[in-house]
Chains A and B, each alone.
Chain A
Amino acid sequence: MNVHEYQAKEVWKSFGIPVPPGEVATTAAEVEAIARKLGGQVVVKAQVHSGGRGKAGGVKLAANPAEAREKAEKILGMEIQGLRVNKVLVAPALDIAHEYYLGIVLDRKAQLPLIMISREGGIDIEEVARTNPAALVKFHFDPTVGLRPFEARRLALAIEPKPEVAFQIAAILQKLAVAFCKSDATLAEINPLIKTPAGEVLALDAKLNVDDNGLFRQKTIEAMRDLTAEHQEDREAREVGLSYIKLEGEIGCVVNGAGLAMATMDLVKFFGGQPANFLDIGGSSDPKKVVTAIRIITRDPKVRAILFNIFGGITRCDDVARGLIQAVAETGVKLPIVIRLTGTNEAEARELLKSQPGLTPAESMDEAVKKAVELAQA
């Protein structure tokens, strides 16, 4: 799960990481009022779950409250990578003497959290990793021990020679390591961490991605979920426990299991079609999931055929068949449907679907995909 910058900054604050003041607004009038309260030059920042906000024109400086209002009118309602901007963060525009990068990710190879910091911040860190890897200082830490103070100091001194500044960075890094572990994060990033001309170090930005599997014990973060920042189909899918990713093709796919779902998409392409989506109905076999899947897929006007590829294990084929019958009745779907069911309760499923019109059965995955591609092109 992603949270917005302003929410990640609340998390930083709760762990004692210094962040500049700022408030969130949803209207231009609110932005003006916040700018007046803050005084001086402000920055208006789009709050969307997307990178490249600055490049897309979603981050603007304003010299006074009236200008802040003008800039907010432009940013609110704009789309960045297909996501509508509904909220902006208004913060004082600080003078910056230097920008650093601090990040922590989970390194699956080392099976430990990995700290990455750099003297070069405020820019695309992947670019730094590519062009100047020596500028990136890396360190693994054990979350049961945490990042030790001397380790934090040593790391900070590697990117900032002045001890009075480096020790501020070290303290922030240690707190970021605690925040990472306590928040079940998969990514915690401050880019940039800035030094002001007065020598004060602050987190000017905040990015936090949280492990979905940890959300059951992250109630504060779960409550930060912004339903308006999600696509409608993503929200519907999540609410019934489907994993769904929209693609651009014409064949809607309904599959159980992520690996089989990916392999099905690949096969659609192999046989000359294009998948309209990735969709995994998951391990359990609640008919409601199938109904929701059909509803989401049929909303996409590009879809010309629907392909079911089910290999029953924990998922029972007869449950999928029941969901399909219910979905056809509820949505009145007219698109051709190809269905391949193998595994647990396969015979019962066939029996259920025998009298259902408009279905094209298939014996194998290859046959099912070929038929779906043919029907979509007919």
Chain B
Amino acid sequence: MSILIDQKTKVVVQGITGRDGSFHAKAMKAYGTRVVAGVTPGKGGQSLEGIPIFDSMSEAVERTGADTSVIYVPPPFAADAILEAAYSGIQLVVAVTEGVPTLDMVPVLRELANLGTRLIGPNCPGLISPGKSKVGIMPADIHRPGPVGVVSRSGTLTYEMVYQLSRHDIGQSTCIGIGGDPLIGTNFIDALDLFQNDPETQAVVMIGEIGGTAEEEAARFIRERMSKPVVAFIAGQTAPPGKRMGHAGAIISGGSGTAAEKIKALEEAGIPVARIPSEAGPLIRKALGL
């Protein structure tokens, strides 16, 4: 098994005729993902390497039975694309688009909660269940099927960690990049909960970074609710303070958000924290009893 996507997942690509959309639609198809449709308003009736293109999501879902969508549309139209997917009955929406205005996401997240649609991202690399399905932009060949779940706020740092795991012969059940934006659909706790309930996943690597308090909340969740071992890494120990946080922004988080505080919270919850990326592989091997 795996979480969220597997060989049965039927994917529709929103923005399939754009530069990134067409490139990654082909790459996903080549990996074995069931890419059943593409959508670009005004390009209905065309096709891309055998993938039929529709004008609307509702038509694409009706005609192909797609259950998952991946979004490559430009930032000004991304919020609308997410909602179009949700209202056409899509269960899982993966928004790769980087640069979506933060305030656009406020109403979107509330509507998705009402509709019961899961969103990954925006500003994320997507997710992959190695050997089964890839919905996103990650380089596929660094992944190996196996027992470790990976969840991360980052893109390339996730690739680095997966690369390190694969080099230590540790395969992955599913790797999810949840996205680097302040407002995202699926957070660490959501992903950890899914991994906890997935029989195939035996351990999890969680990759966090400075800003916000998501890692601290995840630490509490892991301690209270997870039986599977988790190994963490936090990026940004040398990041200068106050570079991105506004004056009042520091207030809500109670002055938190530094790597040191996150590492402390994780270690206090009994979670091993890799000091450097190359320590994660050995720590996971130990956690798996290998």
Q: Which of A260, A263, A364 has the most CB of B within 10 A?
A: A263
Q: Are A259 and B139 in contact (CB under 8 A)?
A: no
Given the interface pairs A108-B182, A263-B160, the reply to whether A125 lies near B75 with Cβ below 8 Å is no
Q: For A315, what are the chain B residues with a Cβ–Cβ distance below 8 Å?
A: 156
The yes or no answer to B183 lying at the interface (CB within 8 A) is yes
Binds B, one of A3-11, A209-217, A222-230, A294-302: A209-217
Binds B, one of A12-20, A163-171, A267-275, A331-339: A267-275
Interface bits B249-290 vs A (CB < 8 Å: 1, else 0):
111101100010000000000000001111000000000000
Binds A, one of B45-53, B106-114, B192-200: B106-114
Q: Residue on A with the closest CB to B122?
A: A213
Binds A, one of B61-69, B94-102, B218-226: B94-102
Q: Are A126 and B250 in contact (CB under 8 A)?
A: yes
Q: Residue on B with the closest CB to A208?
A: B246
Q: CA A162 – CA B144 in complex, angstroms?
A: 67
Q: Which residues of B (65-95) have their CB < 8 Å from a CB of A?
A: 75-76
Q: CA A256 – CA B207 in complex, angstroms?
A: 17
Contact of B125 among A207, A211, A269, A313 (CB under 8 A): A313
Q: For B18, what are the chain A residues with a Cβ–Cβ distance below 8 Å?
A: none
Q: For B159, what are the chain A residues with a Cβ–Cβ distance below 8 Å?
A: 260, 311, 313, 343
Given the interface pairs A108-B182, A211-B101, A283-B98, the reply to whether A262 lies near B251 with Cβ below 8 Å is no
Task: Give 29 pairs: A residue, B residue, CB < 8 Å, sorted on A.
Answer: A106-B182, A111-B110, A112-B106, A116-B251, A125-B248, A126-B248, A130-B255, A136-B251, A184-B102, A186-B249, A211-B101, A211-B103, A217-B76, A258-B154, A259-B157, A259-B158, A262-B210, A262-B236, A263-B160, A263-B276, A266-B235, A266-B276, A268-B238, A269-B237, A275-B238, A278-B239, A283-B155, A311-B159, A343-B139
- Residues of chain B having any CB pair with chain A under 8 Å: 20, 75-76, 98-103, 105-107, 109-110, 125, 137-139, 142, 152-160, 163, 180, 182-183, 207, 209-210, 212-213, 233, 235-240, 243, 246-252, 254-255, 259, 275-278
- Residues of chain A having any CB pair with chain B under 8 Å: 51, 103, 105-109, 111-114, 116, 125-126, 129-130, 136, 142-144, 181, 184, 186-187, 189, 207, 209, 211, 213-214, 216-217, 245, 247, 255-260, 262-263, 265-270, 275, 278, 283, 311-315, 342-344, 364-366
